Structure 1
């Protein structure tokens, strides 16, 4: 009885091992039965400079600044992205998401004003270089005498002026690179 149990267990283990080594006739499997690997490429990704890193950095951009149709690339306008980073480069970055088009800064204290700090959120909403594809939110806090930061009002013109500066810089980049 003990020998039959060992024989059955080893036969079952061998069968399971062999079954795991063979394909079950799936023609869509990238590994063929001879062991070679099929290379799958789309037509738009061909070329020596196309790659995830180049796409992520915006180096594959078309003339309009959109990321050449690659679904894994940046889905926002490359010129707006670079112009926004360039315009707010004096502020410390808290988060930058090129795929979602968000740039969030940390609090920045200008050296010329004590007791005041600013924070900026930039949202790039479109893959085209358009004014309505950009939204900027500016936040301001003031230090009260007890040492607590309190929210302060920011005029809407501040955000609009920053949006205009980013758009102007993006247009300059586009003209320079064409």
Structure 2
């Protein structure tokens, strides 16, 4: 290696390693202690709602699962069965499909379905449709698909209760 490259690497390493040294804030002469003997800055550090960059690597919350309504999930797959399923995530409630032509239709669509709540309600369901040609999908078409999914989900729930 050339001496300039080695010197550059040493300089960059020194700069990066010195970033965390020292405290840029002067000590507070009016530091107030609370009744339990801790300072307000210590209390901020121990705050359970405090978040840092290291929270990304915390595995305690990695197993959080969003509950999705099973009837909405099944109904979405039933109603959109003409579309090839590309990706599903039952833990977050997302269904991504590829392009497909509905029965009796001439235009290709793809859909993204998000089920965000365990309730069997319209607010729990979000459908997004796209066309292969880039033409906009009317709100009425999207609403019709959502209504079909909700109707099928209610049918599945009624059939399940009769067992």
TM-score range, shorter chain: 0.5 to 0.7
Equivalent residue in structure 1 for 2:149, among 157, 166, 171 = 166
After superposing on structure 2, the runs of 4+ consecutive aligned residues of structure 1 that deviate more than 2 Å are 71-74, 109-114
**Deviation per residue, 1:68-104 (Å, 9 max, x gap):** xxx8877100111011111101110011111110011
* Cα distance between partner residues in 1 of 2:159 and 2:103: 33
- The offset of 1:141, in angstroms, is 2.6
Alignment of structure 1 residues 47-86 onto 2, 5 Å: 75-86=67-78
Structure 1's 79 and 110: CA in aligned 2 closer, same or farther, altered over 3 A?
Answer: closer
Could you say what the CA RMSD is over the residues aligned between the two structures, in angstroms? 2.1
Q: Which residue pairs with 2:129 in the alignment?
A: 138
Q: Secondary structure at the match of 1:95?
A: strand
* Cα distance between partner residues in 2 of 1:167 and 1:111: 19
Alignment of structure 1 residues 20-35 onto 2, 5 Å: none
1:154 to 2:137 alignment? yes
TM-score in terms of structure 1 length: 0.51
Alignment of structure 1 residues 8-27 onto 2, 5 Å: none
Q: Secondary structure at the match of 1:152?
A: coil
What stretches of structure 1 of length at least 5 have no aligned partner?
A: 1-70, 143-150
- The offset of 1:153, in angstroms, is 1.3
Q: Which residue pairs with 1:117 in the alignment?
A: 108
Q: Secondary structure at the match of 2:114?
A: strand
